[in-house]
Chain A
C-alpha cells in the first residue's frame, strides 16, 4: 500500500507491506539507516525519531499509520559537514562509543529539550506545573528510555547540558 511521509523535509511515497514498522520502512525501504533496530519492541530507544515534533519509538508504530506525518530522523538533524549543536556536543563529550544507540539518543535529546522548554514535568521534577531546572537528574530521568550498553550516560548528560547551553557543572 502507498503511504506519503514527509521525511526530513522531503515528501516520500512508501510502497510497503502494511505490517512494515516505521523503523523498517526507514531502514529498508527509504535508505535511511541512521535509525537503529536494537530490540524491535520499544524497549531500547535506538529507533527514536521525531514525528510531528514528538519523539517516538519508530519500531512500535506501523509506517502506514503515518500518512502525511512529518518525520525527522538523525539524518535530518545534521550532516557530517554540518552537525546540529546536539550532534556536535555528542562528539565533543564522547557521548557514545559503538555509536549504535547514538542516533536514537540524539533524536531523543533534541525532542526532550523541547519538552522541557514547554514545561512538561518528569518524575525528577520538583514541581509539576513546569519551569523546571535542567539538572543532571532531569536529563537522566528523561533520557532513561534510551539504553546505551557502552554506558556513555555521564557523557550523554554532559553533551546535553552543553547543547542546552548549561555550561560546565
Chain B
C-alpha cells in the first residue's frame, strides 16, 4: 500500500513529539558508524568483480580545439592495454544537479582544458595509467576564452535572473548612510575526499554500475540518456559516498566511460578519476564579482539593497552560481535591484558546490553589512536586528518560521560579543592583532518529491528502503530514527538500506532537502503501518502507543511481533505543495568569529567560532552539529585559503591537487561551537524539520572577513583573504 501526501497545508500535529520511543531528537551514533571506522563500508571503487579491467581517462591539454587523432595504434601495442575508447557518448562535463538528462557529449570538440577525450583500458591499473600517459593527441587548437572580465568576454544577462523594485538610485541618493562596493570571490572546489569512481558490469543488456553519486533518482536517467538505453536497463549502486558537496550531483564522465568500455570489452571495467581530474573535469564553484549597494536611514534601517553579480560558465550550460539567492528576502528595504551576468569561458564546468549562491553571495552581503554598521556607527548585531522584515519583502508573503533575531541575540550572548572592541586594530597580543566579527546565516528550504518503503518483519524488525544516499549527511541515522520513533522499535531493530536504484525513488542528497523530503516519506510509510497495526488490535491509531516493540492501547498490551505473521509493507510518498508558495521557507542562523591577524606576516588564525542555527526540528543533534561544523569549516576555507587558480593563457587549473588547493586542515580549525535552536516549522513537512546541510556555510566566510577588519582595520574585499591581501592594507 502507498501513503501519499502533498504539502498543501501546514502540519501542526507535531506527531513526532507525541511518540514514545525517544529516538528522534536524540544525539544518537550513526548506525553505519562501526562499518566506517573499521574499513568495512564499501565505497564506489571497492567491489571489483572477478576479471575487472582498469580504465584511466585522458585529458585535453588545451582549452579549445578539435581532436584529429589519438594515436591509438601505439598505445594498443603496449603490454596489457585492451582498448582506447573514443566515443561520441563520452561526456564533455558532468550533468548538473537534477538535470535528469545527459549533459553535452562528445570527445572531439574541446571546450576546456582537462576535458576527458579518451579512456585507456588495460588489465592492470598501472598499465592503464601508462597507456593514458603515452597517448599522443593530435589537436587543431582553437581560441579559448579564459577571462570572464575580458573586454571582449561574451556576456549573457538572462532576463529572468534580473529584478528591480522601487528606485534604488534615489534611495541611495537620499540615504543617511550608504555602501557601494565591489567584491570578488574565488572559484572553489568541492574536493570531496573520495575521487569520482565507477565500476560498470553488463549482463546482456542490463548494466550494473557502482558509483559515487548523490542523486540516484536523477543519475539513472542521466546515465540512460547518455548511453542511449532505457533506465530500466540500469541498476545503480551508491551505498556509501565519500563526500559530495555538489560534485557528485550529476552523472560524470567516468561513469559513462566505464559503461561504454565494459560493454565494448564484455568484462567489468573500473574507472577512477585522479585527484587532478576531479579538479579539472568535475565541477567548480564559479568565481564571482559582486557589486553591493546598501542605503540606510539615520536609524540604520535599510531603504535599498542592490546586489549585482557576474559569474562564469562553459558555453552550453544553463546553471550559473545563484549568488543573490538570499538577497530578495533576508533584509527589509523597499528599493531593490538584483542583477546577474554570465561570462562564457573555456574553464572547468561551473556547478553546484555546497550551498550554491549563499556560500559566497551571503558572505559578501554580510561584509557589506559590516561596512554599513561601521559607516552608521551601529553595532553589527543591532544593525541586523533592525532590518529583519516582517514578511518576505519581495514576494509579500509570510515567513513559515523565522529565528534570525533569536540566533543573533543568543549568539551574541553566548560568544561574549559585548567584549568586542568597537575600534578596529586596538586589541593586541604581541605581534597578533585580535578581532571579532559576525554575520547572519540564511538558506532557502526546499522539499522534493521522495518515496521510501518501510517493511515490518514478523520478528518485529523494520527495514527502510529508498534509493536516497548518505554522503556523510546522516541519512542512515535520521531515517532509522524516524522509523524507530514511529514504529516504537529500538534503533538496533531498524535497518536502513540506501543507495540502490532498485528501491523506491528518494529525493537524492542535495540542496539540503534530503532529511526533510526522505524523512517525510519514511514518516508517511510508518503512519500507514501504524494504521495497519491499529486495525489488527481494533483501536484508533492515534490512541495507540508503540514503544520497545510493544503495542499499548487502552488496556490492551501486545508484543508487536505477535501481530505479524507475514511482512507488512508500506510505501510513503511525499511531494511539495501549496505551502511552498504561500510561505517563504528558510533556515536562519548567526556566526560569531574571533581571529588573530599577524602584524608581521598577515596570517589569519581563527581562534574561536560559534554558529547558532534554527532549522526546524533537529532530528539528530549529533549529526546536525557535525554538518554545521563542516559548513563553517568550508566557510573558513572560503575566507582564508581556498582558491582555484586558472592560468590566464589556457585556463588550466594551476593548483589541481590537495597540496596546492588549500583545504582547512585540523590545525586551521578551532573547537567550533554550535548551538541548535529548538524550532518547529509546520509549513516545511510533517516532521516540522528543515534542511541543515548547507546552512552552516551560508555567510560564514563573511563573519571571518569582518573579524579580520575588527582585528587590524584592513577591509579586504576579495575572498580568500590571503596574507598578501591583508599585508597590502597594513602598509608599513
Contacts and interface: CB of A to CB of B under 8 A. Distances in A.
Nearest to A92: B29
A139 B666 CA distance: 9
B36 A96 contact: yes
A111 interface: no
A91 B667 contact: no
Interface in A1-40: 16-17, 19-20, 24, 27-28, 32-40
Nearest to B42: A33
A56 interface: no
Nearest to B623: A94
B555 interface: no
Nearest to B48: A28
Interface stretch (A73-81, A113-121, A126-134): A73-81
Contacts of B416: none
B272 A37 contact: yes
A36 B193 contact: yes
Contacts of B663: 147, 149
Interface string A149-169: 111111111100000000001
A73 B39 contact: yes
A80 B665 contact: no
A65 interface: no
Contacts of A94: 29-30, 622-623, 625-626
Given A35-B39, A99-B242, A153 B193 contact: no
Nearest to B669: A153
Given A140-B666, A144-B665, A147-B193, A44 B658 contact: yes
Central interface residue in B32, B36, B127, B657, by most chain A CB within 10 Å: B36
Q: Is the interface of A mostly helix, strand, loop or mixed?
A: loop
Interface stretch (B285-293, B467-475, B719-727): B467-475
Interface stretch (B302-310, B373-381, B628-636): B628-636
Contacts of A34: 38-40
Contacts of A87: 34, 37-38
Contacts of B36: 96, 99, 102
Interface in B280-319: none
Contact of A150 (B126, B274, B625, B630): B630
Interface string B667-678: 111111000000
B43 A36 contact: yes
A144 B641 CA distance: 15
Contact of A149 (B29, B41, B245): B245
Interface in B158-212: 190-195
B669 A97 contact: no
B38 A74 contact: yes
Central interface residue in A99, A101, A124, A137, by most chain B CB within 10 Å: A99
Contacts of A73: 39
B33 interface: yes
Contact of A83 (B38, B244, B629): B38
Contact of B39 (A37, A40, A75, A136): A75
Given A33-B39, A144-B666, A155 B626 contact: yes
Contact of A157 (B35, B126, B622, B671): B671
A130 to B, nearest CB: 21
Nearest to B673: A154
Interface string B633-650: 110000000000000000
A87 B42 CA distance: 17
Contacts of A50: none
Contacts of A71: none
Contact of A98 (B194, B195, B634): B194
A143 B39 contact: no
B39 A100 contact: no
A153 B37 contact: no
A71 B672 CA distance: 35
Contacts of A154: 629, 669-672
B389 to A, nearest CB: 32
A137 B632 CA distance: 19
Contacts of B626: 94, 97, 150, 152, 155
A97 B478 CA distance: 13
A146 interface: yes
B275 A38 contact: yes
B301 to A, nearest CB: 37
A32 B40 CA distance: 9
B46 interface: yes
A140 B39 contact: no
B125 A24 contact: yes
B195 A38 contact: yes
Contacts of A155: 626, 629
Contacts of A124: 667
Given A39-B275, A46-B193, A152-B626, A80 B243 contact: no
A101 B667 contact: no
B666 A156 contact: yes
A76 B283 CA distance: 36
Given A41-B659, A98-B471, A91 B37 contact: yes
B124 interface: yes
A145 B34 CA distance: 23
B218 interface: no
Interface string B444-478: 00000000000000000000000000011110000
B669 A151 contact: yes
A77 B38 contact: yes
B241 interface: yes
B626 to A, nearest CB: 5
B627 interface: yes
A43 interface: yes
Contact of B34 (A46, A80, A146): A80
Nearest to A42: B659
Contacts of B192: 98, 100, 149
A80 B35 contact: yes
A100 B243 contact: yes
A124 B629 CA distance: 23
Contact of B629 (A41, A101, A151): A151
B709 interface: no
Interface in B9-47: 29-30, 32-43, 45-46
Interface in B400-451: none
Contacts of B274: 40
A103 B39 contact: yes
B240 interface: yes
Contacts of B38: 34, 74-75, 77-80, 83, 87
Report the 6 A-B pairs with minimum CB-CB distance, sorted nearest first: A34-B39, A100-B242, A98-B472, A97-B472, A99-B36, A151-B633
Given A36-B193, A92-B29, A144-B666, 18 more contacts: A20-B125, A37-B195, A41-B657, A43-B657, A44-B193, A46-B193, A75-B38, A79-B38, A83-B34, A90-B33, A90-B37, A96-B33, A97-B627, A98-B193, A98-B472, A137-B667, A140-B667, A147-B193
Interface of A: 16-17, 19-20, 24, 27-28, 32-41, 43-44, 46, 73-75, 77-80, 83, 87-88, 90-92, 94, 96-103, 106, 124, 136-137, 139-141, 143-158, 169
25 contacts: A17-B127, A37-B195, A38-B658, A73-B39, A74-B38, A74-B39, A80-B34, A88-B37, A91-B29, A91-B33, A91-B37, A96-B37, A97-B627, A99-B32, A100-B242, A101-B193, A102-B37, A148-B193, A149-B190, A149-B191, A149-B243, A150-B193, A151-B630, A153-B633, A158-B671
